[in-house]
Amino acid sequence: MCIISENVVTFQLRLAVEISDRDKEDLRWDSGVNFIKENSQVLIQRMGMTVIKQILDELFVWNVMNYEEVDVICCKKLEQDAARAIIHMILKKGSEACNLFLKSLEKWNYPLFQELHGLSLFHQMSEEDLDDFAQELKYFYQSPSFLNFYPLGEDIDIMFNLKSTFTEPVLWKKDQHHHRLEQLTLSGLLDTLQSPCIIEGESGKGKSTLLQRIAMLWASGECQALAKFKLVFFLRLSRVQGGLFETLCDQLLDIPDVISKQTFMARLLKLRQGVLFLLDGYNEFKAQNCPEIEALIKENHRFKNMVIVTTTTESLRHIRQFGALIAEVGDMTESSAQTLIQEVLRKEFAEGLLLQIQKSRCLRNLMKTPLFVVITCAIQMGKSEFHSHTQTTLFCAFYDLLINKNRHKRKGLAPSEVTQSLDHCGDLALEGVFSRRFDFEPDDLSNVNEDVLLTTGLLCKYTAQRFKPKYKFFHQSFQEYTAGRRLSSLLTSGEPAEVTKGNGHLQKMVSISDITSKYSNLLLYTCGSSAEATRTVLKHLSAVYQHGSLLGLSVTKRPLWRQESMQNTKSTTVQEILKAININSFTECGINLFHESISTSSLSKEFEGFFRGKSLYINSENIPDYLFDFFEDLPNCASALDFIKLDFYGGAVASWDKTTEDISRTQDQEFSGTYIPSRAVSLFFNWKQEFKTLEVTLRYFCKLSKKDIKNLEKIFSSAKSLRLHIKKCVGMAGSLSSVLSTCENIHSLIVEASPLTLEDEQRITSVTNLQTLGVHDLQIQRPPGGLTDSLGNLKNLTKLILDNIKINEEDALKLAEGLRNLKKICLLHLTHLSDIGEGMDYIVKSLSAEPCDLKEIQLVSCCLSGNAVKTLAQNLHNLARLSILDLSENHLEKDGKEALHQLIDRLHVLEELTVLMLPWCGDVRVSLARLLEQLERVPQLVKLGLKNWRLTDAEIRILGVFFEKNPLENFQQLDLAGNCVSSDGWLAFMSGFENLKQLVFFDFSTKGLLPDASLVRKLRHVLSKLTFLQEVQLVGWQLDDYDVSVLKGAFKLVIA
C-alpha cells in the first residue's frame, strides 16, 4: 500500500470549524447520494490529494473503507483519479456511507463544503473591526507583559526589558548550498523579506528576542518595512496546543465575541501578505498539535501570508526545503555584549566584568553568544560587591541551566538513561580533546540516546548540505569544559574502574609543552570542578616535571640557541634551553590552575610542591588580579619559585612594540611623570615573604624620575637576589648610578643599547657582589677612568660579556689587567670589537696565563691575531675545563696558519669540549685532517664551525667520511658557510651528513653554486630524516622555485 502522507492540511483548514447545531438546522440538507452525484465534477476537481487522504483515514476508522480500497485510491498518481475512485466507491456503498463522507468533507475542507451549499462568511468582519484588533495587538506588544521577559527561563526570577537590552544582531544570508552569502542587518532582512523566512541559530543566540523585537517595531510604527502589515502575530510554538485560532487567543488576545472563528480566519485568508506570522522555536513544535501552523510553513505557496520562523541548526533539516530566505544568527559583537552588560548591571559591576573579559581571551570568545553574556551577568546579580568568577563557574552555570531548562523534554526517560547519555557526552568531549577533534560523526553517538544530548543543547547537529550529519559542541571551550567536568568526575569517582579510566587520561599528558598548550584548558576545568581532582592533577604534573618529557616546545620556531632569554645559558645543550623555556610556561599553567581551583587553602601543600624550583614571568603592563591572590593566599608557593622575571616599559617604546593600549598607557604615564606602575609596587612591596631571585628588565625608558627609582627600590627589596637588565633606555644615562645605589642585593647586571655616563660606569665597578656583567651595543666614545679601568674590583664576577662596544687598544690593556683579578670567571664573551688594535694579544695572555675555571670563551669578530691564537694554544692546559671555544668571524693574517695548527694540536687537553668555532686564514683547509683526528676524541661535540675555510670537494668528502665513521649522538649545529664545494662534493658529503640525527641548524651558504638536480633530490631526502631541524641556510645557492618547493619542510629555509 502507498504510504499515506503526513496529516498536513491546506490553508483552508483555518476555516475548518464545527457547524453549530443552530446552523445545521438552518441548512437545507440534500440526500447524501444525490448531493455527491450532483457535485461530483466539482469534488473531483477541487478536493485535492491531502483532503482525500484525510477523509480516507477517517472512513477507514469508521469501517466504511477497507484496507484494499484505501490502497487502491492512495496509489493513484493523479489527484482527479483518486477523487473519482473514492466518489465511485462511496456511491456504491449507499446513503449511510455517503453521509459519512460528507461529514468528513465538512471537517477537512469546510470552505468547499460551505461553497457547495451556497454559503459565504467573508462579509461578517468590517475594516473598523480589523483596525481595532490591530490596535489592540500594538498595545499588547508595547505593554510590560510583552516587553519584560525571563532570559534564563521563568524558573529563574531574573527579568530583562526588550527595549533596553536588545542589541543589533549580526545575520548571515545563506545560499542554496548553505554557505554564508552576505551579512544582513535586521533592517536589511525586513527590507528584503521573503516568505517563509527561516532564521537558524544555536541555543542562546537570541532568536526569540529577535522576533519579539520585530513585533515591537511593528507596534511602534518606527520601521517602514513593517508598515505594510495589517496584523503581526508573535507565537511561541513550544506552547501551541490547539488550532491556529485557539493559539492566537491563548497567546495574544481574545477575539471579540461578535466575530466568529470562521469570519476571523476567512479575513486572514483575504489579507494574504498583509499578515505577518512570527513563529518562534520550530525545534520545540509538535506538528500534530496544530496542523494549520505546519501547513502555514510548509505549504506557504498556497496562501499569501508572510511567515518568519526560527529554529535551531539540528531542526533546520525539517523545514529548510520550504524556505524562500534562510538567515543565520551570527556571533554577538563585542560592542553589543558591552552594551548589554552595561544595561543590566550596576555601573561598578559592569566595569569589573568588562575588565575581566578584556583580560581573558576565552571569555571574549564566549561573549559572542548572548545567552552566555546573560549568564555571566546573572551570576553577579544580588551580590553586594563584584566577584571575578572563574571560567569554570560560568561554564558550570551554563551547563546546569541547559540540563534543568530542558528537563521537560526528557519526560518518560529513566534517570539512569539520562545520566548515561551525559557521561557519554563527557567521554566524547574528552576523547575529542586528546585527538584534537571538535566534529563528531553518527558512529560516535551510536551507544547513546542522541535526543538527550540534542534536546539539552549540549550537542548541535548539522545536516544541511551534508551526506552524513555532523555533531559539535556549541563552542570549542564548552567542549573542553565538558571534558574537564567529566575527567574530574572520573578522578573522584567511587568506582575503581572510573578512577582508573581518569588516571589513564592523565597518563596521556607526558610532555610539558602539550600540557601548557593542548591540555591547558582541559586541566583548568578539571581543577575548577573539584578540589580532590586538583590534588590528583598536581601530583601528576609534578611527576611529569620529574620524569616526563620536557621537550617538544611548539611555541617558537626560531633557532632556540638564539633566544635572548637564554643569554646566560649558552653553555647548556639545546635540550636544556628547551627545558628552561617550558618550565616558565609550566609555572604559568600552575598559577592558572590555582586561580581556577575550587579550593586553594586546602591544597596549599600540593601547590607549594608544584611551584618549588620553577620560574615565573610577569609583565608589569598587565598584572592579572589572580597574581595578587596567588601571593596573598599561597605565599609559600610564591617564595618556593626559583626566580621571577619582571618587565617594565618606559615612554620611548619603539613603534613596532606598541599597541593602541600601550600608547594610551604611555600618555597617562608621561602625564603623571612616572613609568613604574603602582600596581607592580603593591604586588611586590606589600608581600610578606621574600623571593629567591628577582629578574627586572627596564625597556625603552626615556627618563627615570626620583619616584620611579624609589618604586624600584621597593620592588628590589622583595628578593634575596636581584638581576637587572637595562635595554634600550636612551634617557637613563646618569640615572643608573642612582638605581644601583638602591640595589644592595644585585648579582647580575646587563646593559643593552643604553648610554652610560662616567658616574654610571664607576658605580657599576663598585658593586662588588656582581656575579654577571654584560654590556651590549654601546658604540659611543667612552670617557677615561670608566668600566675597563676598574673592572678588576668585581672579584665575584663569574660571567663577563662585552658585545659591540667601543673599545680601543689602551682600554683593552686595562681590561687585560683587570681580568687577572677575576679569579672566579667562568664565562667570557668579547664579541664584535672593531678598534681594539693588538689589544686581544694582552687579553688572551691575561685570561690564559694561569689555571682558571673558565668554561666558555667567545672571542667573535674581535680582531683576533695569529699571535693571540698562538698564546691561547700554548696556555690551553690552563683552560682544561673549557667547554665552549668560539673564535669565529676572525681572519688571522700574519702567522695565522701556524697559529691554527698549534691550536688544533692542543685541543686534546680540552676533555669537556662541546662547541668549537674556529677562525680562518689562508690555506687553512690543509689543517682539516689533523682537526678531525682530534675531534675523534670528542664524541660529546654539539657544535662545529668551519666558516670560510675554503674547503674543496676533496676536504668535504673527508669531512663526510668522518661523520659517517663517528656518529656524534648530540651534534646539533654545523657551520660550513663560505666554502668552495661543487655539487659533486656536496653530494658525496650527504652520506655522512645524514648520520647527524640530532641536527638543529646548519649553514652551507656559498657564492654562486648552481646545484645539480641530483643534489637537490638527495638533500631533500636527507632533510626528511633530520626531524629536529629548525633552520637551514643555503644563501648563494641558485635555487629555482621547483628546488625551493622540494626542499621546504617544517624548518626555516634561508636562501637570501
| Position 733 pLDDT exceeds 80 | yes
pLDDT of the residue at 511: 79
Burial class (CB in 10 A: 0-12, 13-18, 19+), 745: middle
CA–CA gap between residue 949 and residue 904 (Å, rounded): 14
- The confidence band for 601, taking pLDDT boundaries of 50, 70 and 90, is low
| Position 198 pLDDT exceeds 70 | yes
**Contact criterion met (CB below 8 Å) for 54 and 105:** no
Taking residues 371-396, report their average pLDDT.
76
CA–CA gap between residue 218 and residue 221 (Å, rounded): 5
In the structure grid, which three cell numbers stand for residue 222, read together? 518606527
| Position 538 pLDDT exceeds 70 | yes
pLDDT of the residue at 258: 57
Q: Say whether domain 412-488 belongs to CATH 1.10.10.
A: yes
CA–CA gap between residue 166 and residue 4 (Å, rounded): 45
- The residue behind cell 541555543 is 203
Taking residues 388-414, report their average pLDDT.
74
pLDDT of the residue at 1039: 93
Burial class (CB in 10 A: 0-12, 13-18, 19+), 3: exposed
pLDDT of the residue at 941: 94
CA–CA gap between residue 331 and residue 435 (Å, rounded): 27
Q: Say whether domain 11-116 belongs to CATH 1.10.533.10.
A: yes
pLDDT of the residue at 111: 72
Could you give the residue ranges of the DSSP H alpha helices within 142-274?
Answer: 144-147, 162-165, 186-191, 207-220, 244-251, 261-271
| Position 27 pLDDT exceeds 80 | no
Of the ranges 433-442, 472-481, 905-914, the best mean pLDDT one: 905-914
Which distant-in-sequence residues (6+ apart) come within 8 Å of 500 by Cβ?
Answer: none
| Position 991 pLDDT exceeds 80 | yes
Class of domain 923-1056 (CATH, top level): alpha beta
| Position 566 pLDDT exceeds 50 | no
* 133: three-class secondary structure by DSSP: helix
Of the ranges 14-18, 650-654, 678-682, 746-750, the best mean pLDDT one: 746-750
CB atoms closer than 10 angstroms to residue 316 = 24
| Position 637 pLDDT exceeds 90 | no
User: Could you tell me what percentage of the chain is helix, strand and coil, using 3-state DSSP and rounding each to the nearest 5?
Assistant: 50, 15, 35
- The confidence band for 661, taking pLDDT boundaries of 50, 70 and 90, is very low
Taking residues 766-782, report their average pLDDT.
89
- CATH number for the domain running over 127-330: 3.40.50.300
Taking residues 323-345, report their average pLDDT.
86
Q: C-alpha dihedral over 282, 284, 286, 287, to 10 degrees?
A: 0
Which has the higher per-residue pLDDT, 465 or 6? 465
CA–CA gap between residue 816 and residue 844 (Å, rounded): 8
pLDDT in tens, 123-151: 456 778 788 888 989 999 999 988 888 77
pLDDT of the residue at 167: 80
CA–CA gap between residue 305 and residue 986 (Å, rounded): 80
pLDDT of the residue at 121: 41
Taking residues 382-403, report their average pLDDT.
74
What is the chain's mean pLDDT, rounded?
82
Fold equal for 11-116 and 127-330: no
**Amino acid symbol at 85:** A
* 1052: three-class secondary structure by DSSP: strand
| Position 14 pLDDT exceeds 70 | no
Q: C-alpha dihedral over 157, 162, 166, 171, to 10 degrees?
A: 100
pLDDT of the residue at 569: 32
pLDDT of the residue at 24: 38
Instruction: Domain ranges for the chain, please list them.
Output: 11-116, 127-330, 335-405, 412-488, 509-601, 612-747, 756-918, 923-1056
pLDDT of the residue at 587: 82
**Amino acid symbol at 96:** E
**How much of the chain exceeds pLDDT 70, in percent?**
87
**Residue 675 vs residues 664, 752, 915: alpha-carbon distances, Å:** 13, 19, 42
**Contact criterion met (CB below 8 Å) for 919 and 888:** yes
pLDDT of the residue at 662: 42
pLDDT of the residue at 371: 81
Taking residues 790-800, report their average pLDDT.
93
pLDDT of the residue at 670: 43
**How much of the chain exceeds pLDDT 90, in percent?**
34
pLDDT of the residue at 157: 76
| Position 572 pLDDT exceeds 50 | no
| Position 716 pLDDT exceeds 60 | yes
- The confidence band for 836, taking pLDDT boundaries of 50, 70 and 90, is confident
Which has the higher per-residue pLDDT, 449 or 169? 169
pLDDT in tens, 494-511: 899 999 999 998 888 887
Question: How long, in residues, is the chain?
Answer: 1056
- The confidence band for 559, taking pLDDT boundaries of 50, 70 and 90, is very low
| Position 552 pLDDT exceeds 50 | no
- The confidence band for 529, taking pLDDT boundaries of 50, 70 and 90, is confident
- The confidence band for 211, taking pLDDT boundaries of 50, 70 and 90, is very high
pTM summary value:
0.65
Taking residues 677-695, report their average pLDDT.
82
pLDDT of the residue at 256: 65
Least trusted range by pLDDT, from 306-315, 434-443, 645-654:
645-654
Which distant-in-sequence residues (6+ apart) come within 8 Å of 1040 by Cβ?
Answer: none
| Position 795 pLDDT exceeds 90 | yes
In the structure grid, which three cell numbers stand for residue 426, read together? 563527557
CA–CA gap between residue 568 and residue 563 (Å, rounded): 10
Taking residues 175-200, report their average pLDDT.
87
Taking residues 674-702, report their average pLDDT.
83
CA–CA gap between residue 1029 and residue 1015 (Å, rounded): 19
Q: What is the homologous superfamily of the domain 756-918 according to CATH?
A: Ribonuclease Inhibitor (3.80.10.10)
Taking residues 597-606, report their average pLDDT.
74
pLDDT in tens, 843-856: 999 999 999 999 99
pLDDT in tens, 263-299: 777 778 888 889 999 999 898 888 887 888 888 888 8
| Position 804 pLDDT exceeds 80 | yes
